[in-house]
Amino acid sequence: MYNITFKFEQKGMEPVTIENVAADQSILEVALKNDIDLHHNCGGVCACSTCHLYVEQGEDLIEELSDKEEDFIDRAISPRLNSRLGCQCILLEGGGDLVVTLPDQTQFLGE
């Protein structure tokens, strides 16, 4: 089982830790099931970059970066070396602690 901590670049949002998360789910799925707003314009099929996030800890606990995902990350706003797409971060069998940071989601809302 996994413990996933979501941190937020958006001002006024405090970190949220989701405990006892089962494997074989994407970080996007975990976020949505727990009312964490992570945009996903393409529906989570690796066809956009709106579920972009930063993996701060636990990169070895998720599936490796694919060439297709890397192409879409290049189109994301403010990509970094630890950038991933939430829809492609599938939790591997096992468990551990994962920490991700969500970029400011207001950029997609036009606020």
How do residues 7-65 score in pLDDT, each as one tens digit?
999 998 999 999 999 999 999 999 999 999 898 888 888 999 999 999 999 999 999 99
**Is pTM beyond 0.85 here?**
yes
38, 88 contact by CB (below 8 A): no
Strand residues in 1-111 grouped as ranges (E): 2-8, 16-21, 52-57, 83-85, 96-102
pLDDT greater at residue 104 or residue 99: 99
Q: What is the DSSP letter of 37?
A: -
Please name the residues in contact with 33: beta carbons below 8 A apart, sequence gap of 6 or more: none
Torsion sign, CA atoms 71, 74, 75, 78: positive
CB count within 10 Å of CB 1 equals 11
What pLDDT is attached to residue 107? 64
Q: How many angstroms from the chain centroid is the CA of residue 22? A: 16
91, 2 contact by CB (below 8 A): yes
Average confidence score pLDDT of the chain: 92
CATH architecture of 2-96: Roll (3.10)
What pLDDT is attached to residue 110? 47
